Amino acid sequence: MSSTTTGPATLPEGMSASVPQDSDIDDLVRLLRRHEREARGWPGAQSDAVRAEVSGRGASTHRHEMVRDAQGTARAWLSLHDRAAGRVLVGVTIDPELDDAQAEPLAAWAFDRVQELGRELLAERGMQRTQLDSGAFADDERQQRWLRAAGYSHVRDWWQMARPVDPATDAQPPALRDGVRISRVRQDDGVGMPDEDDLRAVHLVLEESFADHFNSYRETFEEFVSRLREDPGHRWDHWWLATVDDEPAGAVVASISRGSIGADGTASPDSSYIDYIGVHRRARGRGVAKGLLRTVIADAAVRGRSSVGLEVDADSPTGADGLYRSLGWETRYVTQSWHRILTDDPRGEQ
């Protein structure tokens, strides 16, 4: 669809908005990579992740629009992920090659359009309000300015950390304390859907582990499993459950991060990424977190992965970053979370 005005802000003259299709994915990837190179210093976006959002398994929980200029170049992409009741993840990417005279009105239109699409999600869920959760790289002052102008508040910083993997020294499974056991979630013959009891145990222990963390909220078991399966890097054999004296005590969910192709055509190796790691309060101090981390490291080494990545709250009350650093993780870059409340009635927003 084409549009000129969709709310208080106007789509700049000569630009048109449409819902992206499979044929648009390559252009969206190029747009994201231009943005990442400018805002972070290097690109990382890949086709499989973009396709998963636009037309893959996760498409049903997403809303998208992309903007092209009169020459057909992709200049903006906005996305909303209906992650769970009361939580919508928002992405707004504006082409860094646009000067401020073009970029400013386009960003204003995009964030206004996000609110319209967000209210569609509210209506579908029969809810009156939700949290819009967006983000920015720590050095991206332009994105931060647009977020602030759109009513978002900077609420948190996150360290994006990575640890190199050495197959020669990291492949040994961890030594665990008495009573501690770590195992993959059970699968019949290693294929197909895993044991539901194990999956529910992972979900429950993570929910309880994060109950006292920043911005924690309850996510149903169905929402949790469905969302993680949307990730093209998801694999059931990257889920582990820890027990202490046979009681669920901790869990980790990891995934594959595909290596990228450099400008010279050389492919970098795949890496592992820790999406979630949590230890129940009753089991802290038993070495469970360290055991889970070393389990992922060993698995990555056996698979020939280059590194293990993770995200940590810069203000974590558990001091998790100290554990990560002691095991070899270092911060590669910093991201920010920006939040605002969206209601079904603009007059009621705070």
pLDDT tens digit string along 307-348?
999 999 998 777 788 999 999 999 999 999 999 999 988 765
Where does the chain have alpha helices with state H?
25-39, 47-54, 100-125, 141-149, 167-170, 196-209, 221-230, 288-302, 320-326
- Tell me the CATH number for domain 16-151: 3.40.630.30
Q: Do 16-151 and 160-336 agree at the fold level? A: yes
Residue with the bigger pLDDT between 214 and 240: it is 240
CATH architecture group of domain 160-336: 3-Layer(aba) Sandwich (3.40)
pLDDT tens-digit map of 56-91: 777 788 999 999 999 999 999 999 999 888 899 999
Residue with the bigger pLDDT between 283 and 56: it is 283
Look up residue 207 and give its two tokens.
């929910």
- Sheet containing 247-257: give its strands across: 16-18, 62-68, 74-84, 87-94, 129-137, 330-343, 153-164, 307-313, 271-279, 247-257, 234-244, 180-184
| Interatomic CA distance for residues 171 and 301, integer angstroms | 5
In the chain, count H helices and then E strands.
9, 12
Average pLDDT over residues 257-268: 65
Please name which of 270, 278, 303, 142 lies closest in space to residue 201, comparing C-alpha atoms.
278
Residue that is written with structure tokens 């048109």 in the block: 16
Domains of the chain, by residue range, sit at 16-151, 160-336
Residue 187 is given by DSSP the state: B
pLDDT tens-digit map of 20-57: 999 999 999 999 999 999 999 999 999 999 998 898 77
User: What is the pTM assigned to this prediction?
Assistant: 0.90
| Interatomic CA distance for residues 296 and 309, integer angstroms | 10
Stretch (H or E) spanning 342: strand 330-343
Judge whether 307 and 271 are in contact, CB under 8 Å.
yes
Between helix 221-230 and helix 196-209 the angle, nearest 10°, is 100
Judge whether 237 and 193 are in contact, CB under 8 Å.
no
Residue 175 is given by DSSP the state: P
pLDDT confidence tier of residue 1, bands split at 50, 70 and 90: very low
pLDDT tens-digit map of 164-222: 999 999 999 999 999 999 999 998 766 678 999 999 999 999 999 887 666 666 788 99
Query: What value does the mean pLDDT of the chain take?
Result: 90
pLDDT above 60: residue 124: yes
